[in-house]
Amino acid sequence: MPIVQLWEAVGLGLIIEYPSGIAYSNQTGGTSCSHPKVEGLLVPLRNDTEYETRRLLSPENELYDYFKGPKYCGTGAIGGLDVEDVSFIESVLEKYRLSSCISIDRSRLADSHEAWVYVNVEREERSEDHLKIFAGLGPYPRSGVLTWTNTD
C-alpha cells in the first residue's frame, strides 16, 4: 500500500479511516519519534494564514504548545492520554467549531499520544453544503486520527 509521510505537513489534519488504498503516517510522540500509520483520507482542518505576516492560524498552534509545555516538555505523552489531555483537546475542538462532528475516542486513549489522537467522526459539519470540509464519507460514525506537527 502506498504511504504518505506527513512530517513535512503544517497544520492540523484529520485522517478519516476509509478504504482509500493510501496510508498516512506522521512523526509523533515527541522525542520518542513514533511513526504510526493508518489507511484513509487526509482532511486539513481550520488551517489559515494571517495575510500580513503569513503566520499560521491553526488549532495546531495550541496543541503543539500544550504538548511542548510543562506537563510533557516535548516527551510526547507516549503512555497515552489522560483526562486533562482530553479536556484540553476537546476545548480546542470546541473553540474551532469542530466538536459537533469530531469527538475523542475514549476507548483508544492508551493508543493516543502527541500528534496522533484517535477520534470518532460523528457526522459531516452542520453547515451549508458548499462550506463543508468533507462530505459523502458515511456511514457515520467513522474512526479517524487527529495529527499535527510533532514537538521533537
For helices 83-95 and 59-68, what crossing angle results, to 10°?
A: 160
| Every domain of the chain and the residues it spans | 3-147
How much is the pLDDT for 130?
64
Listed residue (141, 127, 106) closest to 46, CA to CA? 127
- Per the CB < 8 A criterion, the answer to whether 38 and 14 are in contact is no
How far apart CA 144 and CA 16 sit, in angstroms, is: 4
Q: What is the CB neighbour count within 10 angstroms for residue 36?
A: 18
Express as a percent the part of the chain with pLDDT over 70.
98
pLDDT tops 70 at residue 129: no
Residue 125 binned pLDDT confidence (cut-offs 50, 70, 90): confident
C-alpha neighbours within 13 Å on the C-beta side of residue 24: 26
pLDDT tops 80 at residue 26: yes
pTM of the model: 0.94
Mean pLDDT over 45-64 rounds to 94
